[in-house]
């Protein structure tokens, strides 16, 4: 084997080694970009869910929230993507912006939803259920409890909003033609109990009998105070 052949082989091996090295760098760069894209995609999806929930809340309740942060966060990444693949900083900044938007909107949604839903519940007097038939009374009570559960959820989602509004409409339909002839003393007693702070000593035998006569005693729980 001549020296020229050996030199050519060495050069060939060097070129192959360089090609392999460059290919590895390209794969590493591709993997980096794919990982960052997955991270931003997950953050974007979470932000979109909150944005869609806010839109639904506005449509169903008229309560509006500012969702401009969503577009601002997305635009930040787009602006830094022109001319090639964005660097790590651009991906991380976009993810932070989306995460911050999601967290802030989630908190605002929960506060606004609870205030609105609670107000809707307070407009319904459970004392009126006593004027309904047996089956309707059970249905009204179930709808009322379902509304309270949805209103007190720690996380607001579209399903909770839709279900709550459906339950509310169904309950209002049940009560629409219900005669409002519940005894005034029963209404006053239930409102007093709902306000809280009533001790067993403050309830008279007449109060307890009144609750039992109208099947309202099952909706109140007696607990012992800590001190």
Sign for the CA dihedral angle at 155, 167, 135, 131 comes to positive
Question: What is this structure's pTM?
Answer: 0.68
Cα 130 to Cα 113: distance, rounded to the nearest angstrom:
29
| pLDDT on residue 111 | 93
Sign for the CA dihedral angle at 208, 186, 127, 123 comes to negative
Show Cβ contacts of residue 33 under 8 Å, excluding neighbours closer than 6 positions.
85
Tell me how far CA of residue 179 lies from CA of 120, 176, 194, in angstroms. Answer: 21, 9, 22
Kindly indicate the confidence band of residue 177, based on its pLDDT and cuts at 50, 70 and 90.
confident
Do 65 and 101 contact (CB within 8 A), yes or no?
A: no
pLDDT tens for residues 33-83?
A: 778 778 878 888 888 899 899 999 999 999 888 877 777 766 766 666 565
């Amino acid at each position: 084997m001549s020296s020229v052949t050996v030199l050519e082989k060495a050069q060939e091996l060097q070129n192959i080694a360089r090609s392999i090295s460059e290919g590895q760098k390209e794969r590493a760069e591709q993997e980096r970009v794919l990982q960052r894209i997955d991270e931003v995609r997950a953050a974007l999806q979470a932000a979109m869910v909150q944005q869609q929930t806010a839109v639904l809340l506005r449509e169903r309740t008229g309560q509006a929230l500012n969702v401009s942060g969503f577009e601002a966060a997305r635009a930040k990444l787009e602006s830094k993507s022109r001319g090639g693949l964005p660097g790590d900083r651009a991906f991380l900044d976009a993810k932070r912006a989306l995460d911050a938007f999601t967290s802030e909107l989630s908190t605002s949604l929960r506060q606004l939803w609870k205030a609105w839903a609670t107000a809707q519940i307070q407009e319904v007097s459970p004392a009126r259920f006593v004027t309904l038939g047996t089956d309707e009374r059970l249905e009204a009570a179930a709808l009322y409890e379902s509304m309270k559960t949805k209103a007190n959820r720690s996380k607001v989602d579209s399903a909770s909003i839709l279900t709550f509004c459906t339950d509310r409409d169904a309950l209002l339909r049940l009560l629409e033609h219900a005669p409002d002839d519940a005894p005034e003393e029963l209404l006053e007693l239930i409102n007093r109990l709902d306000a809280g702070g009533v001790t067993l000593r403050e309830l008279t035998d007449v109060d307890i009998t009144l609750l039992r006569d109208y099947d309202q005693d099952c909706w109140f729980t007696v607990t012992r105070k800590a001190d």
